[in-house]
Chain A
Amino acid sequence: MADEVVHREQWGSRIGLILAMAGNAVGLGNFLRFPVQATENGGGTFMIPYFIAFLLVGIPLMWIEWGVGRHGGERGHGSTPGMLEALWHHPVAKYLGVLGLFMPIIVLIYYCYIESWTLAWTFFSLTGATQGLDEAGMRAFFGSYVNLQNGTVHGFWTPFIFFFITIAVNFWVVSHGLTRGIERLAKIGMPLLFIFAAILVVRVLTLGDQTVMVNGVATTSSPLAGLDFMYSPDWSKLTDPSVWLAATGQIFFTLSVGMGSLAAYASYLRKTDDIALSGIATAATNETAEVVLGGSLAIPAVVAFFGVSGAVAIASGGSFDLGFIAMPLVFNQLPGGAIIQSAAGFMWFGLLFFAGITSSVAMSTPVLSFVEENWGWTRKQTAWTLGAIAVAIGILHIVYNTRGFLDEWDYWAGTFGLVVLALVETVLFVWVFGPEKMWAELHHGAQIRIPRFYKFILTYVTPTFLIIMMLWWFKEDALPTLLMADETPERSVVRWASRGVMLVILVLQLLLIRAAWKRRRLAGKEVA
């Protein structure tokens, strides 16, 4: 039974597959997290470990996710519980795979909430709601929305309405299945994303010199000063391990590895489909979006109007300050009048929305596959049920966002958990499945021969990087986050409640896995 090939839905076209995979990888992080990370870690200094991590961790993990996914998909598994058991015939393997159900659903829910902000701001850009606002006004406009400050700027229900619309669009897309839903969205969304980004990059880089106030003194700045900052390494900072970890972490997040969604997409491949070249194409598309487009947008634009020190200060406020406060302020200063300013805002938030939705539909895929394959539900039934659950839980994020509810989910599932699953996948695929079988699996149907030294990298270097990263984060972040150092009692209660909800979801998923395997045994199906 282990070698039985199970027939499942398949991708309609190669370009559709690559765009969907790239859409999965290209997300809000490419345009918001990357500039902030680069700015906070010294600009050019950050870029050197970033590219090294891309070659040593990013591309190998991309191949691992594709390999794990295709191998599992051939055996009828579209989610990690089955995929991992197909690699390691041990009862524990399927329970380790719960991470590939838990993380995508947790991240999906809060990600859709943030995605709904981009939809809202696309609308606000069209209506000109942010035009003419100064920094204090822009902060009030953003704060009123995310803090539910009824009556100050936005109505109380406005964030809920945009969230419901975002969820409805997401699950309407996935309810149409792989080719008619996800693939079609990728074929529309990804080109639009690149077109919007390219237009904005040209506009930003041709802004010319601007007068900015730095410490009360008028001086000139330009987008080229932003690029100069992005690409001027301070070699002495290269010995700082935190820069290396930040760069490795960014590569990790930007490629969407360690979440199970890439593997879920890869499970719909045929055995003879290439994964070696397609994996590189996906990673390279993501890097083009991040380095060439993402790196040439927010930071050069903000440096042009606020100077380098201003940009660093804005970046220290986080991705949302950069994307939802600084960028609209930049657009308000663009020459050409209200129409140009509205169009720039529309394209900026529109590209963020497309980046978000092509990722969030991917996050729903592992859970949808798991339910369909084990309980025989249709795609529509599964999609709308999951959508209803996402709405119910998402409301908690809207209400308790400012009290740390979202931060908890983002840290445990969207940050730390990703490294754990990536490490589990790597250990099982490379060490337990075996380096020779792993290497052969990557080359089944391959259209390129992967350079031999990558076998060494996959076997030793990538796992070592992951172990170091996990241990470092555990020591630096996980323990203080777990212990809630310096937290107010009110926020502590909400954060503990947030952990409680996550724990309930995790336990329910473990029980579902147990029940699914019981059903399989009763139906006389071997799992692996």
Chain B
Amino acid sequence: MMSTGALIFMVGAWTFVLGLTFWAYGRLLKADASHEPLPPPGTSL
């Protein structure tokens, strides 16, 4: 069995990794539909 602490740590680790992955692919797919690169930093948006 898993201890509660280990379970919380594992859920946190998986959430971080999977969350980052889905967020990145979500942004990529959204951007692919209408890709408009951001201007270089230092310029106003």
Q: Which B residues are in CB contact (< 8 Å) with A228?
A: 1-3, 6
Q: How far does the Cβ of A226 sit from chain B's closest Cβ, in whole Å?
A: 10
Check if B28 sits within 8 Å of A285, measured CB to CB. Answer: no
Q: How far does the Cβ of A327 sit from chain B's closest Cβ, in whole Å?
A: 21
Check if B37 sits within 8 Å of A272, measured CB to CB. Answer: yes
Q: Which of B1, B9, B17, B24 contacts A281 (CB 8 A)?
A: B24
Check if A232 sits within 8 Å of B3, measured CB to CB. Answer: yes
Check if B1 sits within 8 Å of A278, measured CB to CB. Answer: no
Q: Is the interface of A mostly helix, strand, loop or mixed?
A: helix
| A-B contact number at CB 8 A | 89
Q: Which B residues are in CB contact (< 8 Å) with A155?
A: none
Q: Which of A14, A232, A284, A292 contacts B6 (CB 8 A)?
A: A232
Check if B14 sits within 8 Å of A447, measured CB to CB. Answer: no
Check if A292 sits within 8 Å of B31, measured CB to CB. Answer: no
Q: Which of A51, A274, A280 contacts B31 (CB 8 A)?
A: A274
Q: Which of A51, A277, A288 contacts B21 (CB 8 A)?
A: A288
A447 to B18 alpha-carbon distance, docked (Å): 20
Q: Which of B1, B9, B14, B38 contacts A233 (CB 8 A)?
A: B9
Q: Which A residues are in CB contact (< 8 Å) with B18?
A: 288, 292
Given that A231-B13, A280-B20, A440-B41 are known contacts, is A18 also in contact with B2, CB under 8 Å in the complex? no
Check if A224 sits within 8 Å of B2, measured CB to CB. Answer: yes
Check if A444 sits within 8 Å of B9, measured CB to CB. Answer: no
Chain B 21-37 interface 0/1 with A at a Cβ cutoff of 8 Å (1 = within): 10011011001100101
A51 to B42 alpha-carbon distance, docked (Å): 31
Count contacts on A: residues with CB < 8 A to the other chain.
35
Q: Which of A292, A446, A449 contacts B17 (CB 8 A)?
A: A292
Q: Which B residues are in CB contact (< 8 Å) with A440?
A: 40-42
* A27 close to chain B: CB less than 8 A: no
Q: Which A residues are in CB contact (< 8 Å) with B13?
A: 47, 51, 231, 291
Check if B24 sits within 8 Å of A280, measured CB to CB. Answer: yes
Q: How far does the Cβ of A493 sit from chain B's closest Cβ, in whole Å?
A: 46
Check if B17 sits within 8 Å of A284, measured CB to CB. Answer: yes
Q: Is the interface of B mostly helix, strand, loop or mixed?
A: helix
Q: Which B residues are in CB contact (< 8 Å) with A446?
A: 37-38
A174 to B8 alpha-carbon distance, docked (Å): 44
* A287 close to chain B: CB less than 8 A: yes
* A159 close to chain B: CB less than 8 A: no
A14 to B35 alpha-carbon distance, docked (Å): 11
Q: How far does the Cβ of A30 sit from chain B's closest Cβ, in whole Å?
A: 12
Q: Which of A44, A288, A447, A449 contacts B28 (CB 8 A)?
A: A447
Q: Which B residues are in CB contact (< 8 Å) with A292?
A: 14, 17-18
Q: How far does the Cβ of B13 sit from chain A's closest Cβ, in whole Å?
A: 6
A377 to B3 alpha-carbon distance, docked (Å): 60
Q: Which A residues are in CB contact (< 8 Å) with B41?
A: 439-440, 443, 449
Q: How far does the Cβ of A41 sit from chain B's closest Cβ, in whole Å?
A: 15
Check if A231 sits within 8 Å of B37, measured CB to CB. Answer: no
A225 to B4 alpha-carbon distance, docked (Å): 12
Q: Which of A51, A222, A230, A444 contacts B37 (CB 8 A)?
A: A444
* A393 close to chain B: CB less than 8 A: no
Q: Which B residues are in CB contact (< 8 Å) with A448?
A: 27, 38
Check if B1 sits within 8 Å of A284, measured CB to CB. Answer: no
* A297 close to chain B: CB less than 8 A: no
A178 to B37 alpha-carbon distance, docked (Å): 24
Nearest 4 pairs of A and B residues by beta carbon: A281-B24, A284-B21, A231-B6, A445-B37
> What are 28 A-to-B residue pairs whose CB atoms are below 8 Å?
A18-B28, A44-B6, A51-B16, A225-B2, A227-B10, A231-B5, A231-B10, A231-B13, A232-B3, A272-B37, A274-B31, A274-B35, A277-B24, A281-B24, A284-B17, A285-B21, A287-B17, A287-B20, A288-B18, A292-B18, A440-B40, A440-B42, A443-B38, A444-B37, A444-B40, A447-B27, A447-B38, A448-B27
A-side interface residues toward B, CB under 8 Å?
14, 18, 44, 47, 51, 222, 224-225, 227-228, 230-233, 272, 274, 277-278, 280-281, 284-285, 287-288, 291-292, 439-440, 443-449
B-side interface residues toward A, CB under 8 Å?
1-3, 5-7, 9-10, 13-14, 16-18, 20-21, 24-25, 27-28, 31-32, 35, 37-38, 40-42
- Beyond contacts A230-B6, A288-B21, A439-B41: 11 other A-B pairs, Cβ-Cβ < 8 A, are A222-B1, A225-B2, A231-B7, A233-B9, A281-B28, A284-B21, A291-B17, A292-B18, A445-B37, A447-B31, A449-B41
